[in-house]
Copies of this chain bind each other. A is one copy, B any other.
Amino acid sequence: MGPRRSLIIRKRAPLRAATLADVAKIAGVSPMTASRALNQAHLVATDKAERVRAAAARLAYVPNRIAGGLASQRSRLVIAVVPGTLNPVFADLIHALREELLRSGYQLFLGLSDYDMPAEDELVETTIGHRPDGIVLTGVVHSPQLRFRLAGARIPVVETWDLTPTPIDMLVGFSNEKVGASAAEHLLRRGSRKPALIVADDHRAQARGAGFAAAAAERGIAIAGRVAVRAPTTLGMGRDGLARLLTADPRIDAVFCSSDQLATGVLFEAAARGIRVPERLAVMGFGDLSGSAHTHPSLTTVAVDGARIGREAARLLLERLAAPEAARRSRIVDVGSRVVARESA
């Protein structure tokens, strides 16, 4: 037994939060019964369960999930790792993921990674350290060291928002190359002969840019201008990007941006310069943000069903959690993407 804190001091201001033992003592039952009353009430006589609940309420008792998780080896917690500055593109994914997990009694926490690798490594380490029942990653993991750690942790992992033939475990995503390719297709079919790119410097945006260039080249069209910007992207970068593209070559007739934020900026810059969109300049983005349908002109973009990714990720995770043994075959889901043709292209 450790030292008992003086009852006099404890009276008004307990130094430590209440524990299950405190609750049990007040309710006049054993800790075991108190635990059951709170978690599996049907196994306990109703009057005792009631007394336990009352005692818990009186003490402002909140179960220590750290201890519970350690004892039961299940945390009922899923941690999602999302890049950087709360990028709204992921909003639907996270929202749907959270919804589905909640429905099955799992909580979701988010870890924010920077766009740079070392910090991401550290974050994933911490994430594993908390031994969640599942991990959802936004983006696939490239660092071999991290993949090793993640695989060694024996925690179900879902990578999202990208496709790769070799996921660590499970994968729900789409091809960023195809996003770029279908944008190129759309723009060229509408008659563009001098398309330009504004692309952020993260992996996935780069892949979209590469996909665009490849598809254009296949049709004998060269990229007429290219601006690289730093992730995360902003509207201002889009404005500035168009300005720079026009300085380099005023005859470009279309711009594909790696995000809708950039594209919206391009729209504003075009408006400020009196450049008619889409007649003189076609503009496309990626992400189909909540606002993109309501810009003026409304933005043509490549949409991904983020909510579906979230739902599928949750489904894979929950299935695995329900039947861990059935899980050796790795699962890959491609949700695809589609061009949403609106006014700007």
Asked if A286 is at the interface (CB within 8 A of a chain B CB), the reply is no
Distance to closest chain B CB from A204 (angstroms): 17
B-contacting 9-mer, from A86-94, A190-198, A312-320: A86-94
Residues of B within 8 A of A265 (CB): 291, 294
Which residues between 79 and 106 of chain A lie within 8 Å of chain B, taking CB atoms? Answer: 79, 84-88, 90-91, 94-95, 98, 102
Residues of chain B within 8 A of A239, CB atoms compared: 294
Set B14, B130, B268: member contacting A296, Cβ < 8 A: B268
| Residues in chain B near residue A109, CB distance under 8 A | 79, 109-111
Closest to A13 in B: B154
Q: Do A234 and B86 have beta carbons less than 8 Å apart? A: no
- In the complex, what distance in Å separates the CA atom of A110 from the CA atom of B39? 25
Within residues 113 to 152 of chain A, which ones have a CB less than 8 A from any CB in chain B? 119, 123, 125-126, 128-131, 148-149, 151-152
Minimum CB distance partner of A98 in chain B: B112
Measured in the bound complex, the distance between the Cα atoms of B14 and A239 in whole Å is 54
Chain B hits for A271, CB < 8 A: 271, 296
Residues of B within 8 A of A238 (CB): 294
Question: Which residues on B sit within 8 Å (CB–CB) of A75?
Answer: 66
Contact size class for A?
Answer: 35 or more
Residues in chain B near residue A69, CB distance under 8 A: 66
In the assembled complex, A18 has its CB within 8 A of some CB on chain B: yes
Contact of A126 with B15 in the complex, beta carbons under 8 Å? no
Which residues of chain A from 282 to 323 have any CB-CB distance to chain B below 8 Å in the complex?
A: 290-296
Q: Is B79 touching A86 in the complex (CB atoms < 8 A)?
A: no
Is A107's beta carbon under 8 Å from chain B?
yes
Which of A57-65, A211-219, A334-342 is near enough to bind chain B? A57-65
Inter-chain contacts of A85 with B (CB < 8 A): 88, 91, 94-95
If A85-B91, A88-B88 are given as contacts, then 5 extra A-B residue pairs at C-beta distance below 8 Å, sorted by A number, are A17-B153, A66-B70, A66-B131, A94-B112, A109-B110
Q: State how many angstroms separate the Cβ of A9 from the closest Cβ of chain B.
A: 14
Q: How many Å from the CB of A154 to the closest CB on chain B? A: 5
Interface check A250, CB cutoff 8 A: no
Q: Please name all residues of chain B whose beta carbon is closer than 8 Å to the beta carbon of A268 when the two chains form the complex.
A: 294-296
Q: Kindly state whether residue A236 has any CB partner on chain B within 8 Å.
A: yes
**Which of A14, A75, A294 gathers the greatest number of chain B CB atoms within 10 Å?**
A294
